[in-house]
Amino acid sequence: MSQQRYDYLIVGSGLFGAVFAYKAKQAGKQVLVIDKRPHLGGNVACNNIADINVHQYGAHIFHTSNREVWDFVNSFVPFNRYTNSPLANYKGKLFNLPFNMNTFYALWGISRPEEAQAKIEQERKEAGITEARNLEEQAVSLVGKTIYELLIKGYTEKQWGRSCNTLPAFIIKRLPVRFTFDNNYFDDDYQGIPKGGYNKLIDGLLADIETKTDMDFLEKQDYCESIADQIVYTGRIDEFYAYCYGALEYRSLRFETHTLDCANYQGNAVVNYTDRETPYTRIIEHKHFEAGNQPQTVITKEYPLEWEKGAEPFYPINNESNMRIYARYQQLAEHEKNVIFGGRLGEYRYYDMDEVIEKALLAWSRTECHAYGSFISGRRVS
Ligand code: UDP
């Protein structure tokens, strides 16, 4: 029997791969999705423990201001109204995040926005930063030294394993600063968790698509390339090119998950531990993502780790030296005729889920335009 050929072989079944696969399948293409893990869904995959959807690769909270993306994901599974309002625990004292009037009140007993603005302005002035060149300077110029010391420095240095003055400023710009009593972590128009967990989203995207788990592209590269016209690669770009320009750095995580015989452990889905001494950065209590009322609860402690071979690369470290290396890989990628790179690892970008979906939709429409363009020019020639 001859080997089936595919229009697209999609390497990695996370959001980029699954969205691209869905669009290609809808357009009538032959698609195969492979994943080296034993399950589909990449890092959004959930694990059911004690009837609770456990985010097995860390908390995934969907938020977007892109209506098209929001409607797209909701067409597979309705999303609930979960609003992320994490707490920060600094040496036993709790503060609201993101930085807002509740935080300033707990810190300084200040209840009016004007007073909080003046306090932060004074701390900013004392720091004398004119242009923020790194995360530390960016943080101090956004929220002043006190908040930086209590709620940012320890957490960030644990999370990234690097000093704040060597990290890129953009990381801290992910967090809003507000002079209202609003604990919503995100500024986006839409936010929520798929009702019944993320596996429903992945199942919807990959329904009727051929998939193979436990299949490592790089171990079977010749075979994989021989069965498909186009490859969509969502693994690490440096690994794809056999580290020819050197390895890119990533940050990894270790998760310690416990099932507890109590109904409610911490009263919130996310509690960050912002001191330097606590070895984990946060504790996730998964049932609160879906307002669960199961008799037990499942919590996960998240320990940051430096990435090394065999570990999962969760966060790209987008500092200058890594970005220089990445630019060289990107040049190679731009010359590929049959390979599209996408996702956090394929593009070495600290993407949120909605951005990954946007990029996958864009990649698909570009591919389609390109195919249509060659079809038109082919007709002109003939
Ligand atoms: N951050 C912090 N204190 C906190 C939470 C976040 O200093 O309590 C900083 C930290 O540098 C982190 C960045 O903000 O890497 C982005 O946080 P976010 O919650 O967006 O990260 P993610 O959920 O992607 O890990």
Q: What is the total residue count of the chain?
A: 382
CA distances from 25 to 6, 33, 287, 375 (A): 11, 11, 34, 19
What tokens does 20 get?
A: 């691209």
pTM, whole model, 2 decimals? 0.94
Which one from 37, 236, 251, 344 is the annotated catalytic residue? 251
Task: Identify the burial level of 273 via C-beta atoms within 10 angstroms of its C-beta, where 0-12 means exposed, 13-18 middle and 19 or more buried.
Answer: buried
Interval between CA 45 and ligand 1 midpoint (Å)? 21
CB 150 within 8 A of CB 274: yes
Identified catalytic residue from 37, 236, 282, 344: 282
**What are the domain boundaries of the chain?**
6-83+191-249+316-376, 98-171, 250-306
Rounded Cα gap, residues 39 and 49, in angstroms: 16
Contact 107, 101 (CB under 8 A): no
Q: Which atom of ligand 1 is nearest to the CA of 159?
A: 15
Query: Running along the chain, 382 residues long, what does each successive block of 10 average in pLDDT?
Result: 87 98 98 98 98 98 98 98 98 98 98 97 92 94 96 97 94 93 98 98 98 98 97 98 96 98 98 98 98 98 92 94 98 97 98 98 90 51 30
103 three-state secondary structure: helix
Architecture of the domain spanning 6-83+191-249+316-376? 3-Layer(aba) Sandwich (3.40)
Pocket test for ligand 1, best of 140, 156, 305, 317 (most atoms within 8 A of CB): 156
The H or E element that residue 308 is part of is none
Q: Whose CA is nearest to atom 20 of ligand 1?
A: 174
In this prediction, residue 381 carries a pLDDT of 32
- Count of other CB atoms within 10 angstroms of residue 149: 14
**Ligand 1 geometric centre to CA of 315 (Å):** 12
What is residue 174's predicted lDDT score, i.e. its pLDDT?
Answer: 84
pLDDT recorded at residue 377:
44
311 lines ligand 1 (CB under 6 A): no
Sign of CA dihedral 26, 32, 36, 39: positive
Q: 134: part of which helix (H) or strand (E)?
A: none
Distance of CA 350 to the CA centre of its chain: 7
Pairing of strands 87-90, 46-49: unpaired
SS (H, E, C) 331-357: HHHHCCCCEEECHHHHCCCCCCHHHHH
Q: Which of 124, 239, 350, 368 is catalytic?
A: 350
Q: How far apart are CA 25 and CA 12, in angstroms?
A: 16
Q: 360-373 burial, b for 16+ CB within 10 Å, e for fewer?
A: bbebbeebeeeeee
pLDDT at position 373, please? 60
Q: Give the Cβ contact number of residue 79 at 10 Å.
A: 17
User: Is residue 251 annotated as a catalytic residue, yes or no?
Assistant: yes
Tokens of 51: 């009837």
- From the CB of 274, is ligand 1 less than 6 Å away? yes
AA identity, residue 87: L
> For a pocket test of ligand 1, which of 155, 170, 253, 305 has the largest count of ligand atoms closer than 8 A to its C-beta?
155
CB atoms within 10 A of CB 230: 19
